[in-house]
Amino acid sequence: SGLLPEEGILLSIFGASSKLARDVVREESMASLPEEEKKKQFLGREASGLLPEDKGKSEAQAYSFFVKVTIVFQVLVGPGLATALYLIATTASPSFKAQVDAKFAILRAHGLGSAYAAWVLVNAGRTMAQIGANAARDAARVERPDQHVYQLMAETGPLADAPYVMLTNVGPVGRFNRAQRACYNLDESMPLFLVGLMLVAAVFGPLAPCVAAVYAYGAATYARLYKNDLNQRLGGFLFLILAYQVSAGLVLLVAVKTTLF
């Protein structure tokens, strides 16, 4: 079935109790599902497991689409909201403005604005890598939460035309797969986000926890909705994107004000 290792390896590594637990999970997770529920994951897919051709785009078309989306969020929305937040905070509190201006002066005096500029460049590089991966996904017609596609390496014989190996997307196993993907997605972006947020905190102090609160809400909501249903995940994901891009916009603002002006 692909869910269990060889009997001897399982017993030696995990022990008999683990084997029993896994057997129970295996039986309850798929065999007990109604037939209609089992068939849901095959709807809208070709026999290979991929999405049908009319659902896919060429890689060039997908790349162009994701570049446009990135421009909207990373060039317009993020910096725009960050600038608005900066202006509102510094206008509402003259003492806060004085603190921020003093920090700008220190960064300029010691050439530390380059650290902010470096983060902006690294973030841009990762963004381009993401665009390429998403474009390739659309061209390959691979549905989420799958991150890889596996093939049985049989050149001839009955398995030569076997479908690709894809993630189960229904029942408890499907919920587990989606929950794992949500966690991994957060883990993948967390290091860069945290570094950027620390750079923001160094200059803008209390604005950083505000951004972090939006991110925390988005992360919890995104993970919960993604686990429940693939198509619900965007509700929380938008808050994640908002927090990430506002933080990135604030880093960019500091980079510009301390290296160019």
| Contacts of residue 159, Cβ cutoff 8 Å, sequence gap at least 6 | 152
Q: How confident is the model at residue 212 (pLDDT cuts 50, 70, 90)?
A: very high
Per-residue pLDDT tens over the stretch 107-162: 999 999 999 999 999 999 999 999 999 999 999 999 988 999 998 888 888 888 88
Per-residue pLDDT tens over the stretch 78-96: 999 999 999 999 999 999 9
Element (H, E) at 79: helix 78-92
With tokens 């206008």, the residue in question is 91
> pTM of the prediction?
0.81
Cβ contact 212:201 at 8 Å:
no
The pLDDT, as a whole number, for residue 26 is 52
Q: How far apart are CA 96 and CA 202, in angstroms?
A: 13
Cβ contact 154:160 at 8 Å:
yes
